[in-house]
Amino acid sequence: MEVAKFVATPEGTALAYGSLVFMALLPIFFGALRSVSCGKSKNSSDMPETITGRDAARFPIIASCTLFGLYLFFKIFSQEYINLLLSMYFFVLGILALSHTMSPFMNRIFPASIPIKQYQLLFTQGSGETKEEIVNYEFDTKDMICLVISTVVGVWYILKKHWIANNLFGLAFALNGVELLHLNNISTGCILLGGLFVYDVFWVFGTNVMVTVAKSFEAPIKLVFPQDLLEKGLGASQFAMLGLGDIVIPGIFIALLLRFDVSLKKNTRTYFHTSFLAYIFGLGLTIWVMHTFKHAQPALLYLVPACIGFPVVVALLKGELTEMFRHSAGATTHAGTGLGKEKKHSPNLSCQECVLA
């Protein structure tokens, strides 16, 4: 997040920062809730992907290489053509993510009088006993409607690059990330957040790479909100921004703590509420420091200690620290939440090389 060159009014600044905080909380809250039961899905594409300790340890290195590669691309090649290719790539991903995000809401409001037809998209390779499924996607009439609505938003984004369309896609990416990316245990979460803590601090304070990429990258990998909205309305152009990585990375850790709450079978959500409030505190502190020192801040510098420290202190006070670190994805399955078998996964880098800039 950064203070733009123009002088923003106090009201415009407060509205922009407050809106970014509110938007950041939405995918974390709803994504965490949906992560508890997303393993029940029949579609393989909707099954959770589990991040292992090995994935977490090497992810900051992979992310650093990707980030620096993007930086070199923007320095060597035309920014216009790079962003054109990225726009088409995220156009397709955004439609699928937004459609998946809308699906539960469509299930609730879809009129019962309209017949629902089932469809299946199946691609296989080989034949006979060697036949292997490449894509097996089941959908129905409601999913088709979600897809049409998402396509309209996608066309709007491609043609206008409007900040509202950007945010719709960004929120969908973040919610899907929190819902479908699962940490296998608390230790893995600490490794991932700790590694990205160093990654974020180095690339923001040590170089201009992170800020340069964040400003050059015209794709819905960040949430934006105009600081001049009160003066210019929906046509405003001076934005504060929040990278999706600063939402998804802490978000998947908060979602893990919610599943830990569920596994305790105590009908409480102590660790989820604690980590959620810790995220609000960390993000608020980031905004305050940025606004005070007028410099882009690595949000994970403040979010990681808060999101890990607060729940650990609570666990210590409750005498559940050992139980917390012994909790794994498999334990949640036995608790009856319906999570599927663990699958190894290296997270998609597309929404991680972001900065609160």
- 269: which strand partners? none
- Cα separation, 51 vs 329, in Å, equals 10
List the catalytic residue out of 55, 143, 200, 261. Answer: 200
Q: Which is catalytic among the residues 55, 143, 228, 246?
A: 246
Q: Is 246 a catalytic residue?
A: yes
Burial track 160-176 (b if 16+ CB lie within 10 A, e otherwise): eeebebbbbbbbbbbbb
Cα–Cα distance, 212 to 71 (Å, whole number): 7
Reply yes or no on whether 140 is catalytic.
no
| Residue 265: how many other CB atoms lie within 10 Å | 9
How many CB atoms are closer than 10 A to CB 285? 17
Instruction: Tell me the C-alpha to C-alpha distance, in Å, between residue 257 and each of 78, 271, 283.
Output: 43, 6, 19
DSSP letters spanning 177-236: HHHHEEESBHHHHHHHHHHHHHHHHIIIII-SHHHHHHHH--SSSEEEEETTHHHHGGG-
Q: Residue 138 carries which DSSP code?
A: E
Catalytic residues: 200, 246
